[in-house]
Structure 1
Amino acid sequence: MKIETGRLVITEFDRSMAESVHKNSLDADNRRFVPDEVFETVEDAAETIDFLMGVYTHGGGPLVYPVLLKNGACIGYVQAIPLEDGAWEIGYHIGGNYTKHGYATEAIRAFLPVIMAQLGIEEITGICLAENKASVKVMERCGFAKQYEGPGPYQGQQREICRFVFTATPRS
C-alpha cells in the first residue's frame, strides 16, 4: 500500500521504523488511551513490526500502516482491525511531537476509501474513550457519525466510550 496526500505518505512498515515507532509510542496520550500500543524498547517495536509485516502477506491480524511525513519521518500509524463479528474498526495514533497539525485527520481521510475498498466493506467503526477529545474531533472531521456514548468495553475494562461509524458513499 502507498497512499500520498499533500503532506503525508501511508505505506508499509519496515524494520528501519522501529526506533520511531518506539519513541512515538511513549507519549503521555498513547500511555493513557492505548497502553497496549506502548513499546518500552526498540526491540519490542521491532518485534511488533515483524508481526505486522507478516500480516500484509499472511493475514491474521490488524492491517497497520505507518504514517510518514514527506521527508520520511515516521509520525504514527493508521490501522483497520478485524472484529469478532466480521466488522472492522479504524485505529490511529500520531506521536505527541506531531499532534495539533491535522495529520490524523489527513491520514484517516486518505486511508478510509483505500482500506474500505481493499476490504470490500461499506462501513467501519471507530471507538475511543469519551475523554479523548482529540480522537472524537478526528472522527467527526472525517465524517464518522456518533452512534453511542456511555459505558462500554475498552482495553479489557468498562470505560466511558464513544462509538462512531463511517459509511462509504455508494457509487452510482
Structure 2
Amino acid sequence: MLVETERLVITDLTKDMCNAFQKNSVDEDNRRFVPDEVFETLEDAHRTIEWLIKSYQYEKGPFLYPVLLKDKTNIGYVQACSIEEGWELGYHIAKEYTGHGYATEAVSTFLPVIMQQLKINIIYGIVLEENIASHKVLEKCNFKLDYIGIGKYQGVDKALRRYILNS
C-alpha cells in the first residue's frame, strides 16, 4: 500500500522501521488506550513487525500500515483487523504528533483504500469511552455511533463506544 496526502504517507511496514515502531508504542496514550500494542523492547517490536509483514499475505490480516510525515518521520499507524462482526479500524498517532489532525487525515485517506482492498462496505471503530480524541476522529470520518456501554476491550469488560461506517 502506498497512499499519500499533502502531509502524510501511508505505506507498507518494513523491518527498518523497528526503532520508531517501538518508540511510538511506549508513549503514554498507547499504554492507556492500546496496552496490547506496547513493545517494551526492540526485540519485541522486531518480532511483531516480522509477524505483521507476513500478515499482509493472509486474507484475515491484520493489515497495519505506518503513517509517515513527508520527511519520512514515522508518527503512527492505521490498520484493519478482522473481528467477529467483520473488520475493525485501528489507529495511533504518537503523542508528540497529536493535535494536528494527522489521525483524521490518515484514517480518512486509509478507509476507502482498505475497504476496497478487503471488498467490504462496513467497518467498525471500537474505542474506550474515555478516549474522547478517538471519538472525534471517527465522527469526523463519518462513522456513526452504534453502541455505548460495557463490552470486551482486549479481553476485559470496559466502558466503550462502537462506531460503524457503512459506505
1:148 aligns with 2:147: yes
Structure 2: give runs of 5+ residues left out of the alignment: none
> Residue 133 in 1 paired to residue 132 in 2?
yes
Could you tell me the TM-score, scaled by structure 2's length? 0.97
| Alignment partners' CA distance in 2, 1:22 and 1:45 | 5
Q: Taking structure 1 as reference, are residues 60 and 144 closer, same or farther at Cα in structure 2, changes over 3 Å only?
A: closer
Residue 93 of structure 1 corresponds to which residue in structure 2?
92
One-letter code aligned to 1:53: I
* Closer/same/farther in 2, CA of residues 167 and 58 from structure 1, 3 Å limit: closer
Q: Which runs of 5+ in 1 are unaligned?
A: none
Identity %: 55
What's the Cα RMSD here? Answer: 0.9
Deviation at 1:133, TM superposition (A): 0.4
Offset at 1:60? Answer: 4.7
Offset at 1:42? Answer: 1.3
Distance (whole Å) between structure 2 residues aligned to residue 21 and residue 40 of structure 1: 11
Letter in 1 for 2:158: R
Would you say the 8 A contact 2:87–2:123 is kept in 1?
yes
Deviations 1:8-38 (A, max 9, x none): 0000011111000111111111101110000
Q: Partner letter of residue 40 of structure 1?
A: E
Partners of 1:61 and 1:113 in 2: how far apart?
17
> Post-superposition, which runs of at least 4 consecutive aligned residues in structure 1 deviate over 6 A?
none
Q: Which residue of 1 aligns with 2:6?
A: 6
Matches within 5 A, 1:69-108: 69-85=69-85, 87-108=86-107
Check the 8 A contact 2:122/2:164 in 1, yes or no: yes
State how many pairs are aligned: 167
Corresponding letter in the other structure for 1:75: I
Q: Paired residue for 1:38? A: 38
- Are the aligned partners of 2:77 and 2:92 in contact in 1 as well (CA < 8 Å)? yes
Q: Check if 1:51 corresponds to 2:36.
A: no
Q: Is the 8 A contact 2:61 2:80 kept in 1?
A: no
How far did residue 155 of structure 1 move?
1.1
Letter aligned with residue 35 of structure 1: P
Please state how far the C-alpha of 1:61 moved relative to its aligned partner. 3.1
